[in-house]
Amino acid sequence: MAWDGVIVSDSGGFQVLSLIRKQGKTGAIRSNGVTFQESPTAKKIVLTPEKVIEWQFGLRSDVVVALDDCTGPEDSPAEQLASTERTIRWFRQARKAYDLQCRQRRSGEPPLLVGVVQGGTDPELRQRCVDALVESGAQGFGFGSWPLSAEGELEREMFALLSRITPPDAPLFALGVGRPEHLVSLCELDMRWVFDCTIPTRDARHGRLYSFVPEIADRLLTPDRSFYQNVYILDEENSRKDEPICATCDCPTCRRYSRSYLHHLFRVKDGLADRLATLHNLRFYTRLLEMIRAGRMARPGLGEPARVG
């Protein structure tokens, strides 16, 4: 990849389990891992706690995630319990594989090992999972299960719980989060959250681009959508606009190209459209985090918030 930045990988468990559970793809969750087949003629893939650690060491990741059994918020308490117990057991196996890999393959700094916290909406089960992961040597903690409610709202209370019950210096991994307003919401809770989501790049490829509202310089970030707008670049109104996607953006796309040119690239399905749009959406996210770090957030419950940064 010729990438000298930080590499973060995931176990692949969430993707496979959601294909099995939600899309009815062939596969099964067994006591020692997950089997998966994309189609009847495709090769069978077997994910075990040991293998996914080995693969992530092969990628030379700086952050590796142990295999977990991911449930959804709609699953029964019995399923949540079984998933939590399986996740704990798999983590112990993953930790042994991690120690072995550290001895065999790596020189220098070993990667950070993240355990995923399951337990659905049951605080006691979540606590039990955290305790077991800590005892087994987890160095970071991922948010297990689907992060949004059926209405698309962030499961903020469960994230707040994880912030409270995990060791205070451990990084927290908000797997599958998220939308710009969700990043603001979680950073309000705790600055330890790390984000990982397909939304900015997938939206870019579908021509949905983000633009800070023009008055952002006078506004604070809030956990709603008032600080940005979606620009649907294929909308007819963008076919003649000479302005960039976002007036204040310093990304290579906004510095050089107009909305009308991007509109044209999307319309003729030029591959450059995806790349320019992706560059912009990713820069929108890094600018958002720069603003968050500079203390531009409105803190709830404080009345008229003071402006910082």
Q: Which of 122, 190, 196, 274 is catalytic?
A: 196
Task: Output 141 or 212, the one with its CB closest to Zn ion.
Answer: 212
Active site residue 218: no
Minimum CB distance to Zn ion, residue 206 (Å)? 17
Residue choice 251, 291, 292, 298 for contact with Zn ion (CB under 5 A): 251
Minimum CB distance to Zn ion, residue 139 (Å)? 35
Task: Output 179 or 283, the one with its CB closest to Zn ion.
Answer: 283
Interhelix angle 156-165/123-135, nearest 10 degrees: 40
Residue choice 88, 162, 184, 254 for contact with Zn ion (CB under 5 A): 254
Minimum CB distance to Zn ion, residue 249 (Å)? 3
Estimate to the nearest angstrom the gap between the alpha carbon of 15 and the chain centroid. 12
**Count of beta carbons in the 10 Å neighbourhood of residue 43:** 8
Using CB under 5 A as the binding criterion, the count of chain residues that bind Zn ion stands at 5
Task: Output 129 or 249, the one with its CB closest to Zn ion.
Answer: 249
Amino acid, res. 273: A
Minimum CB distance to Zn ion, residue 106 (Å)? 38
Task: Output 186 or 277, the one with its CB closest to Zn ion.
Answer: 277
Taking CB under 5 A as the binding criterion, the range among 12-20, 151-159, 228-236, 276-284 that sits at the site for Zn ion is 276-284
Residue choice 249, 273, 277, 292 for contact with Zn ion (CB under 5 A): 249
Taking CB under 5 A as the binding criterion, the range among 93-101, 177-185, 252-260, 269-277 that sits at the site for Zn ion is 252-260
C-alpha distance from residue 242 to each of 199, 209, 233, 263 (Å): 27, 16, 12, 11
Task: Output 139 or 211, the one with its CB closest to Zn ion.
Answer: 211
**Spatial separation of the C-alpha atoms in residues 66 and 138, rounded to whole Å:** 9
Smallest CA-to-CA distance from 85 within 133, 23, 27 is with 133
Tokens representing 187 are: 């950073």
Task: Output 251 or 291, the one with its CB closest to Zn ion.
Answer: 251
* C-alpha torsion angle, residues 102, 105, 108, 112 (rounded to 10): -40
Helix, strand, coil shares, percent, the chain, to 5: 45, 15, 40
For residue 102, give the 3-state DSSP assignment. helix
Amino acid, res. 110: P
Minimum CB distance to Zn ion, residue 283 (Å)? 5
Smallest CA-to-CA distance from 133 within 87, 194, 69 is with 87
280 binds Zn ion (CB under 5 A): yes
Instruction: Say which residues have a Cβ less than 8 Å from residue 216's Cβ, sequence separation at least 6.
Output: 227, 228, 248
Minimum CB distance to Zn ion, residue 245 (Å)? 5
Q: Which of 10, 68, 69, 203 is catalytic?
A: 10
Active site residue 10: yes
Smallest CA-to-CA distance from 115 within 82, 97, 137 is with 137
Taking CB under 5 A as the binding criterion, the range among 23-31, 149-157, 207-215, 244-252 that sits at the site for Zn ion is 244-252
| Residues 280, 246 contacting (CB under 8 angstroms) | yes
Footprint of Zn ion on 114-153 (CB under 5 A): none
Interface residues with Zn ion (CB under 5 A)?
Answer: 249, 251, 253-254, 280
Active site residues: 10, 196
